[in-house]
Amino acid sequence: MPRARKIGYYTAWSIYDRGFAPADVAVERLTHINYAFAKLDGNAIALGDPWADVERPSPGAAYRDGDLRGNLGEFNNDGSAVRQRNPQLRSLISVGGWSWSGGFSAMATSERSRAEFVRSVAAFLHRYRFDGIDIDWEHPVEGGMDGNPHSPDDARNYLLLLRELRQHLDRDAPPPPRFGRYEISIATSAAPSVYRHLNLGAIAQVVDHINIMTYDYAGSWSQTTGHQQNLFRPSAGDSGINGNDTVSDYISRGVPPHKVVLGVGFYGRGFGGVGHQGSPVAGLPGLGCAFSGVPGGTWEAGSFDYKHLRTAHLKPGSGYTVHWDDAAKAPILYNAAERVFITFDDAVAVSWKADYVLQRGLGGIMIWELSQDHEHELLAKISEYLG
Residues annotated as catalytic are: 138
Question: By C-alpha distance, which of 31, 349, 25 is closest to 211?
Answer: 31
Q: Which residues 6+ apart lie within 8 Å of 78 measured at CB?
A: 129, 177, 178
Contact of 71 with 35, CB cutoff 8 Å: yes
Phi, psi dihedral angles at 314 (to 5 degrees): -95, 20
Cα 183 to Cα 176: distance, rounded to the nearest angstrom: 10
Cβ atoms < 10 Å from Cβ of 384: 14
Cβ atoms < 10 Å from Cβ of 259: 21
Question: By C-alpha distance, which of 152, 331, 346, 180 is closest to 265?
Answer: 346
